[in-house]
Structure 1
Amino acid sequence: MSLKFERDTTVTGAVKDAVVNHAVNKGGIVGSTATAIADAAHGNLPGTSGKHPISAVVGTAITGGRQNAGTKGYLSAYLQQLEDHPLRTKMLTAGTMAGSQELLSSWLAKDRNKHGNYFTSRVPKMAAYGALVSAPLGHFLIWVLQKIFSGRTSLRAKILQILFSNMVIAPIQNSVYLVAMALIAGAKTFRQVKATVRVSFWKVMRVSWITSPICLAFAQKFLPEHAWVPFFNLVSFVIGTYINTVTKKERLAALRKKHFGGGGPGGGRSSAVGPGSTISGGPRPDDYPPIGPNPPY
């Protein structure tokens, strides 16, 4: 039995090698993939054992390719960029997240513009805000925070750092955020901007005061200082996407109720229904001020 098993195993291995060699000789994507799998199967791929060659190849491709095999891949490269080019990396990160958040929340809420697209005019505006306003401001304020508490690792210092963040940094960032959102939404006068800030400021601050201590305590314990701002942006992305989605859904529900519930002229009927429909005879505005949180720092 043992001899038969070994012989069958040998034959099976020979067949597999033949199939791999045939695929390699074909070249192209199939050939390069087969080559990578063969290398992984023989333990020639750094950081892998050879027991699961296909998953090893897939994982290596996802984390930066063969040149990063055996390393931490994209995460390591990103953290290195944060150290080497902190402001530029934070600007690209914040801009991408802000634009993606607006696009994702529009898709989740089924909130289209008058042309039926989820990619509204707010998406590039939010991306510009994230890259040109939020990231530089957050970079500077976090630098001030870390400078004040540099070298102070006691429990008292960490608590004071959290209080300083919530009482000084968060109000500054939230105020700038609401001013920017009012301008993006189409505010033309100082009175309109002031009204947006007055109505939304304490709502945004409550979100910050809930999330800020938890996030800052986590960053103090587990993250290098240059990774703080991207981590805070990630938390804000998740919370902001949720709140922005809920806000959009509530707004659309209110428009439908006004339109179909007799709130509009003519019994609430409009000339069109659908993704590009009009409300009460006029186009649906693409932009509106959200009630969402600024990055908590």
Structure 2
Amino acid sequence: MSLKIERDTYKAAVQEAVLDHAASKGGVVGHTAAAISEAAHGKLPGTKGHHPIAAVVGTAITGGRKNAGTKGYLAAYLKQLEDNPLRTKMLTAGTLAGSQELLASWLAKDRNKHGNYFTSRVPKMATYGALVSAPLGHFLIWLLQKIFSGRTSLRAKILQILFSNLVIAPVQNTVYLVALSLIAGAKTFQQVKATVRASFWKVMRVSWITSPICLAFAQKFLPQHAWVPFFNLVSFIIGTYINTIAKKKRLTALRKRHFGEGRSSGGGSTVGGPRPGPGDYPPMGPNPPY
């Protein structure tokens, strides 16, 4: 027992000496080592010294040492929303849109021809989120808040929810479906129109169920500059689920077409050989070509 304590004490002393030596050298490495040494001894406000490197990185991300122990990640994010609203929303929406596509691909086992989940749609969705969805949402929510500025009565809140569902949601959903059709490979106006027509009311039904609840929650608990990221987060969760289901259905149809599912009129045999069982579909590797 005492031997272990002595060994740990010796190791800590050596580590401290190395860090102090690096700090004395100055520069980025020296300052970083000094910060890690400070965090390791629990001298960095808001930390206990258990994870010094993570503490230093987290402190740097959330505003530096002057904010250590006083501001968390959420507070730093909200401050960025206040100082740089559009830029922060663009980064948030782009990250969420790309992550949604990647997560849905993983959940649905939707791989590209190289067997990777990181398909070409991931950066395309991230671009859509950052350059289209976020600026559009920023403007529409600004318009909503502008129209109902200073109106806090129950009647005003109900009208705000109706305006959101009857004006804002249709615009956002239409733009979303147009972008999805283009990302999926639509080349002509008729293809885009067919996609929007086929999916618009399905998406609107989901919006009409979730939007009133989310907007009522935002009205009650969130500052106005946090509305768009909150709606983006809700959309991320719902969109991931819908995207996953859609991918699974598409992959099932592609596999059926790839392996042959048509029946001959004679004796129940399938075109192209016997009907494949569940084990015949490759669980790993790229999906059938499409």
Amino acid paired to 2:186: A
Q: Tell me the distance in 2 between the aligned counterparts of 1:81 and 1:157.
A: 29
Q: Tell me the distance in 2 between the aligned counterparts of 1:60 and 1:163.
A: 45
Contact 2:36 2:56 in 1 (8 A): no
Q: Deviations over 1:195-240 (max 9, x none)?
A: 1111100110011111111111111111111111011111111111
Amino acid paired to 1:218: F
Amino acid paired to 2:12: V
What does residue 167 of structure 2 align with? 168
TM-score, scaled to structure 2: 0.80
Change (3 A) 1:199 1:14: same
Q: Tell me the distance in 2 between the aligned counterparts of 1:268 and 1:13.
A: 70
Change (3 A) 1:258 1:220: same
Structural mapping, 1:97-112, within 5 Å: 97-112=96-111
Q: Tell me the distance in 2 between the aligned counterparts of 1:156 and 1:14.
A: 71
Aligned length: 264
Match of 1:54 among 50, 55, 58: 50
Change (3 A) 1:268 1:112: farther
Contact 1:24 1:32 in 2 (8 A): no
Q: Tell me the distance in 1 between the aligned counterparts of 2:6 and 2:111.
A: 57
Amino acid paired to 1:198: R
What does residue 290 of structure 1 align with? none
What does residue 41 of structure 2 align with? 39
Change (3 A) 1:128 1:265: farther
Amino acid paired to 1:63: G
What does residue 267 of structure 1 align with? 273
Which sections of structure 2, spanning at least 5 residues, go unmatched? 23-28, 263-269
SS state at 1:63 partner: helix
Q: Tell me the distance in 2 between the aligned counterparts of 1:156 and 1:12.
A: 69
Q: Tell me the distance in 2 between the aligned counterparts of 1:236 and 1:22.
A: 51
CA-based RMSD of the aligned residues comes to 3.2
What does residue 137 of structure 1 align with? 136
What does residue 25 of structure 1 align with? 17
Change (3 A) 1:268 1:228: farther
Structural mapping, 1:110-121, within 5 Å: 110-121=109-120
Contact 1:174 1:201 in 2 (8 A): yes
Q: Deviations over 1:150-192 (max 9, x none)?
A: 0111122111111110111001111111111111112122221
Amino acid paired to 1:22: V
What does residue 58 of structure 2 align with? 63
Query: 12-21 or 59-68, which moves further after superposition?
Result: 12-21
Query: How far 1:14 sits from its partner (Å)?
Result: 8.3
Query: How far 1:16 sits from its partner (Å)?
Result: 6.1
TM-score, scaled to structure 1: 0.78
Say which structure, 1 or 2, has more relative contact order (CA 8 Å, 6+ apart): 1
1:216 aligns with 2:215: yes
Q: Deviations over 1:27-49 (max 9, x none)?
A: 37997687245531xxx33235x
Which sections of structure 1, spanning at least 5 residues, go unmatched? 1-7, 285-297
Amino acid paired to 2:286: G
Q: Tell me the distance in 1 between the aligned counterparts of 2:132 and 2:274.
A: 41
Q: Tell me the distance in 2 between the aligned counterparts of 1:69 and 1:195.
A: 53
